[in-house]
Amino acid sequence: MAELEQASPAWWHFLLPLAILGLDIAVAVSGTGQQTVWYVVRATGVIAYVLLALSVVIGLVISNRLLPGGRIKSDVFEAHSFMTLLVLAFGGFHALALLVDSYVGFSPREILVPFTSTYRPASVGLGILGLYSAAIVYASFWARKMIGYQAWRALHYTAFFTFVAVTLHGIFSGADAGAGWMIAIYVLSITAVTSLTSWRILTAED
Amino acid sequence: MSKARKRATTRQKLIRGAIVSASLLAFVPVFNQMQVDATPTVSVAEVAPAITQTQVSSTTTAAGSSTRTTPQQVTRSHTRTRGS
Please name the residue of chain A whose CA is at the shortest distance from the CA of residue B10.
Answer: A75
Backbone angles phi, psi at B60, to 5 degrees: -115, 125
> What does the alpha-carbon distance between residue A10 and residue A8 come to, in Å, rounded to a whole number?
6
Structure-model confidence comparison of residues B68 and A143, the more confident one: A143
> What does the alpha-carbon distance between residue A27 and residue B62 come to, in Å, rounded to a whole number?
51
- From B12, B30, B38, residue closest to A46, measured CB to CB: B30
User: A65, A70, A39: which is closest to B37 by C-alpha?
Assistant: A39
B16 contacts: CB under 8 Å, gap ≥ 6? A78, A82
Residues paired with B60 in a beta bridge: B66
pLDDT digits (tens, 9 = 90+) for A79-108: 999 999 999 999 998 998 888 887 778 999
Scan residues 6-25 of B and list those with Cβ closer than 8 Å to A.
8-9, 11-12, 15-16, 19-20, 23
Which range among A68-72, A113-117, A151-155 shows the weakest confidence by mean pLDDT?
A68-72
Question: For residue A159, is it left (φ>0), alpha (ψ between -120 and 50) or beta?
Answer: alpha
- From A42, A51, A86, residue closest to B34, measured CB to CB: A42
Question: What's the one-letter identity of residue A64?
Answer: N
pLDDT digits (tens, 9 = 90+) for A45-75: 999 999 999 999 999 999 988 888 788 888 9
ipTM topping 0.90: no
Q: Are A98 and A104 in contact (CB under 8 A)?
A: yes
User: A162, A90, A165: which is closest to A126 by C-alpha?
Assistant: A165
Backbone angles phi, psi at B56, to 5 degrees: -120, 115
pLDDT band of residue B81 (cuts 50, 70, 90) is very low
Q: Do B27 and A43 touch (CB under 8 A)?
A: yes
A86 contacts: CB under 8 Å, gap ≥ 6? A48, A51, B19, B20, B23
Q: Is the full-model pTM beyond 0.90?
A: no
User: A4, A8, A2: which is closest to A142 by C-alpha?
Assistant: A8
Which pLDDT belongs to residue A161?
Answer: 96
Q: Which residues of A touch B33 (CB under 8 A)?
A: 179, 181
> How does DSSP assign A18-58, residue by residue?
HHHHHHHHHHHHTT--HHHHHHHHHHHHHHHHHHHHHHHHH
